[in-house]
Amino acid sequence: MKGTELGFAKILPFVVPLALYAALLVLRSETYVPLLSSWWSSHELSQGLIILPISMILAITQLGGWAIRPLAPSYLWLSVFVVANFLLVIARLSNIQVAEYFFAVIAVVIVPLVLFGRIASKESLFPYLFGALALPVWDPLNPVFQHISFIATRVIMGLTTIPHYVEGYSIELIDGTFVIDTGCSGLRYMISAIVISLLYCHLYFRGWKAKVLSIVSLIAFALIGNWLRIFLIILIGHFTRMTSSIVHDHATFGWVIFACLLVCWFYMNRWFHSIDIPAPDVSK
């Protein structure tokens, strides 16, 4: 009997988190199924499918990997978990989808804190803050970056000899018109830049100077890359008399530009490593 009890005690830390995740998915399926579906089908929100698993892996790794450990529940984070679920229900009944998804993500992200909060409180909160990047709070920034992209494109076009006329968010050429809509805001590249740079800096940098420079540089690359994408599409449209397929379907084209700039950023990080705080010598 004692052997059985000991065996159950060993697997308890694995069973409880899995049971809690399963309970969330089953009891809140009317929320999580549409949320996962929206992430899968949306270009702007698909990063959530990557962010949450990475957040969970980082949290588990930080707590010592998959080693057996006793549960160390935090009643503070349990209270936050209960409140998040309560507000999730209120938001759903009120038909406020953004708020519903907001609290749904919070409930998932803080599960390790609820179960191992007293241990996790001694470690970095980065895994949980990183998971918060999956929150559906980015849409209000779309018009902002749309306007910035339009201003940048208008300035770049002003430096060329291509005949064009600007009206609203439209740039009219002789052979056609380009509209800088919200899909041209570049928000998807901005979010990707933030996610990649934060994760890279957390894993490989120690000092704040190197981290800030690395993050800011990739965000700048994402902005400039989007402006370059729009300008090149207009340029291609002008010289091909609007017949190029890139003019009408340019999503992949944008990611190719972002990938090229990402390679440059990784190479630039070699210099950031040279100014970073060196790791302590564990041999001494």
Give the mean model confidence (pLDDT) for residues 41-53. 77
Q: Does 264 score more than 90 pLDDT? A: yes
Q: How far is CA 16 from CA 21, 124, 228, 234, in A?
A: 9, 23, 49, 55
Q: What is the pTM of this model?
A: 0.82
154/246 Cα distance (integer angstroms)? 20
Greater confidence (97 vs 217) lies with: 217
Greater confidence (123 vs 54) lies with: 54
Give the range among 69-73, 114-118, 253-257 with minimum mean pLDDT. Answer: 69-73
C-beta separation of 251 from 43 below 8 A: yes
> For 57-98, what is each residue's pLDDT tens digit?
787 777 655 455 667 778 888 899 999 999 999 999 999 888
Pairing outcome for strands 177-179 and 170-172: antiparallel
- Please tell me the predicted confidence (pLDDT) of residue 2: 47
- Please tell me the predicted confidence (pLDDT) of residue 87: 93
> For 153-204, what is each residue's pLDDT tens digit?
999 988 888 888 888 888 888 888 888 888 888 888 999 999 999 999 998 9
3 pLDDT band, cuts 50/70/90, is very low
Provide the mean pLDDT of the chain: 83
139 Cβ contact list (under 8 Å, min separation 6): 44, 98
Q: Does 238 score more than 90 pLDDT? A: no
C-beta separation of 169 from 185 below 8 A: no
- CA distance between the termini of the chain: 47
C-beta separation of 55 from 128 below 8 A: yes
Greater confidence (237 vs 4) lies with: 237
- Please tell me the predicted confidence (pLDDT) of residue 98: 85
123 pLDDT band, cuts 50/70/90, is low
- Please tell me the predicted confidence (pLDDT) of residue 6: 47
